[in-house]
């Protein structure tokens, strides 16, 4: 097991991000050690419920822990106020208390929604992130940014609410569909391009192994991404400066995602945003032609889609 500690000065919280090989026993152990007597709410989506949620529910119930399993339909369309309202009601009806704990078991959508519910119910309760997609393992589960979309734009409603622990098991990715895996790789490329030239080189050298989901290489990718993300989140918890570098590819990416009616995966939109924003940077003389070509080459080697989505409604895109 590898542990990366994240300490946030302003909210005075320190929490471990653990990269483990037995997520189930590790999460059960953390919960039975730290939350004796208080109820546990596993929040997940419909897909992850079937794959992993039932197992965690049974395991915790067998340990005598008062546990509830609550799901919502999978996908970005669920990142909204109606779903949050339903989850708030489900928790309140089941007697949530200030010492209850939420386990966010799923991808970035579950992490964002369950984290936001944890930040708001009873003015904030503890939660643990158990990310099950590559995107959530390398990016969204670390840093405490939680929230939902609004009809006027993506991620416009939310909070900064740090988890008590993050438990990452790369083996959970074995069931992840290829499209979702590639979506996560786009965030990996973003992290490397924004923060670490040697990590970028590592990705270039190991692209074939990464594409094949080679276990050792994948663990390396996850660990390096988490270390970089954690270091930035520590220095700039509330995104006033440095953390904005992690929005690389996201200004145009969010617009691509929204005008596609969220048919594009988040990482697919980020990949398109990376290409479009880097092209603008090259045209403005801020990025060399050689560096731009390296980015395109890496994305190609990882099997990421490079063509920009067709934008039918230009004014919607610009707004």
Please identify which residue in 84, 101, 108, 259 interacts with ligand NAD, judged by CB under 6 A.
108
Please indicate whether residue 247 is annotated as part of the active site. yes
- Kindly state whether residue 251 participates in binding ligand NAD, applying the rule CB under 6 A: no
**Taking each helix axis from N to C terminus, what angle separates 215-235 and 178-195, rounded to the nearest 10 degrees?**
50
Per-residue binder mask for ligand NAD (CB under 6 A), 19-38, x = binder: --------------------
CB 79 within 8 A of CB 140: no
Number of C-beta neighbours around residue 314 at 10 A: 9
18 versus 71: smaller Cβ distance to ligand NAD: 71
- Kindly state whether residue 250 participates in binding ligand NAD, applying the rule CB under 6 A: no
Which residues, including other chains, have CB under 8 Å from residue 315's CB and lie 6 or more apart?
none
Tokens of 32: 């039975």
18 versus 112: smaller Cβ distance to ligand NAD: 112
In the bound complex, what is the minimum distance in angstroms from residue 60's beta carbon to ligand NAD?
19
Please indicate whether residue 239 is annotated as part of the active site. yes
Please indicate whether residue 254 is annotated as part of the active site. yes
- Scanning 4-12, 136-144, 188-196, 276-284 for contacts with ligand NAD by CB under 6 A, the matching segment is 136-144
- Kindly state whether residue 155 participates in binding ligand NAD, applying the rule CB under 6 A: yes
**C-alpha dist (Å) from residue 29 to 7, 25, 40, 174:** 22, 6, 13, 23
Q: What share of the chain is helix, strand, coil (3-state, %, to 5)?
A: 55, 20, 25
- Kindly state whether residue 231 participates in binding ligand NAD, applying the rule CB under 6 A: no
- Kindly state whether residue 109 participates in binding ligand NAD, applying the rule CB under 6 A: yes
**Taking each helix axis from N to C terminus, what angle separates 81-93 and 108-120, rounded to the nearest 10 degrees?**
60
In the bound complex, what is the minimum distance in angstroms from residue 148's beta carbon to ligand NAD?
9
Q: Which residues are catalytic?
A: 123, 145, 187, 229, 239, 243, 247, 250, 254, 266
């Amino acid at each position: 097991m590898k542990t990366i500690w994240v300490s946030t000065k302003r909210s005075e919280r320190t929490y471990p991000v653990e990269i483990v090989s037995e997520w189930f026993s590790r999460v059960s152990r953390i919960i039975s050690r730290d939350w004796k007597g208080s109820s546990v709410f596993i929040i997940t989506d419909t897909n992850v419920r079937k794959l992993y949620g039932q197992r965690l529910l049974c395991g915790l119930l067998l340990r005598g822990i008062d546990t509830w399993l609550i799901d919502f339909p999978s996908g970005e369309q669920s990142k909204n106020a109606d779903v949050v309202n339903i989850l708030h009601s489900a928790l309140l009806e089941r007697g949530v208390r200030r010492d209850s704990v939420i386990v966010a078991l799923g991808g970035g959508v579950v992490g964002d929604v369950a984290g936001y519910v944890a930040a708001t119910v009873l003015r904030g309760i503890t939660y643990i992130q158990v990310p099950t997609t590559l995107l959530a393992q390398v990016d969204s589960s670390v840093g405490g940014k939680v929230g939902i979309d609004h009809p006027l734009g993506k991620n416009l409603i939310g909070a900064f609410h740090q988890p008590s622990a993050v438990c990452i098991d790369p083996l959970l990715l074995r069931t992840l569909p290829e499209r979702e895996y590639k979506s996560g790789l786009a965030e990996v490329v973003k992290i490397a391009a924004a923060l670490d030239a040697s990590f970028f080189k590592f990705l270039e050298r190991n692209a074939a192994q990464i594409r094949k989901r080679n276990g050792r290489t994948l663990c390396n990718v996850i660990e390096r991404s988490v270390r970089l993300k954690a270091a930035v989140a520590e220095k700039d918890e509330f995104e006033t400066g440095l953390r904005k570098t992690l929005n690389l590819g996201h200004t145009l990416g969010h617009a691509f995602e929204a005008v596609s009616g969220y048919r594009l995966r988040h990482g697919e939109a980020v990949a398109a945003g990376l290409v479009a924003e880097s092209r603008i940077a090259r045209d403005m003389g801020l990025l060399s032609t050689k560096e731009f070509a390296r980015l395109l080459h890496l994305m190609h080697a990882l099997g990421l889609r490079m063509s920009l989505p067709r934008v039918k409604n230009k004014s919607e895109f610009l707004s």
